[in-house]
Amino acid sequence: MTIQTSLNYQKQFFDAFAQAWQDRSTFRLYKGIDATATNLRLALSETPGYILAYDKDAQRELHDHLQKDLIAFLREHIPFFKVSDAGDVFFGDWYHRRQFGHIDVFARVITQNTDAQAAILPQLQAFAQDPDNFLANQIEAMRKQTYAAVDDLHNQIEAASVDATDEPARANSGSAGGFRGMLKSFIDPDDEQTAKPVRRSAPQPTATKLKARFDAAKETADAEFDANKRQLEVAAAITRYEYQAVTATYSSVEQFQNVLANLQADFMKAQEAKEAKANA
């Protein structure tokens, strides 16, 4: 491409983009952004800056204009989403509703910037697989984790109890062995010098100490379990509301995910149809 050809192309592009802005054509503005991103291999978020000579005020003005049409489309396209004028996307209008994400205006997608937001879809998938046992499965998993230390102490107490029961037998055995050892030493005193030293194991906690540790750990675990159970119950109720909203609109959670994945394409089709209708 010669210099003149390149300059002509740039002039045509900027003339077209300027006309699209003058007409407030969301469709043609986005087409210009997409074409520039493709030709220059730029991220969509960076492209408006290049087109507008990195003028922050101009970029903000373009962003705010495009955001209005995207929000209007999203509110209609996914009716159970509640979208604020600032672009925050919430799941439903019920109490304790969760934020699903935030609109990326130039990319035309919903971004999720926190772990809580990213967890919503996996939770919906898990709920869809077993709605009746969703809460019970979560509570059981939480119970095992919460009481792991308590169960370990309980096992130690049982082991100590078994050891205490076996102690008299070991003591008697030790006494007999001691007598035989003394007799053997009397007969063959040199064996005492060649006898191997006896290794003694580290002393174990007493049953009383173990019981005290068990009681304290269980009290802490009980309080933690009750608090976490309540949180899981509330979270499961919210997930159920979300699932019901999804399945009232779509055939499955997977179809809802497909709608999210095609949000940009569906939005552009809607804007193209709007443009055609306006020019008819």
| Cβ–Cβ under 8 Å, residues 260 and 249 | no
- Residue 109's DSSP bridge partners are 104
- Residue 90's DSSP bridge partners are 82, 99
- Among the listed residues 26, 54, 19, 48, the one whose alpha carbon sits nearest the alpha carbon of residue 106: 48
| Cβ–Cβ under 8 Å, residues 132 and 189 | no
Q: Cα dihedral angle (65, 67, 68, 69), rounded to 10 degrees?
A: 100
Counting as low any pLDDT under 50, the low residues of the chain are 176, 179-187, 192
Predicted pLDDT of residue 134: 94
pLDDT digits (tens, 9 = 90+) for 219-253: 998 999 999 999 999 999 999 999 999 999 999 99
DSSP strand pairing (98-104 vs 81-83): unpaired
Domain ranges of the chain: 3-114+253-279, 134-193+205-247
Query: CB within 8 A of 156, min separation 6: which ones?
Result: 205, 210
R_g over Cα of the chain: 36
Residue 207, token pair as written in the block: 């049953």
Task: Please report the DSSP string for 216-252 in residue order.
Answer: HHHHHHHHHHHHHHHHHHHHHHHHHHHHHHHHHHSSS
d(CA 14, CA 69): 22
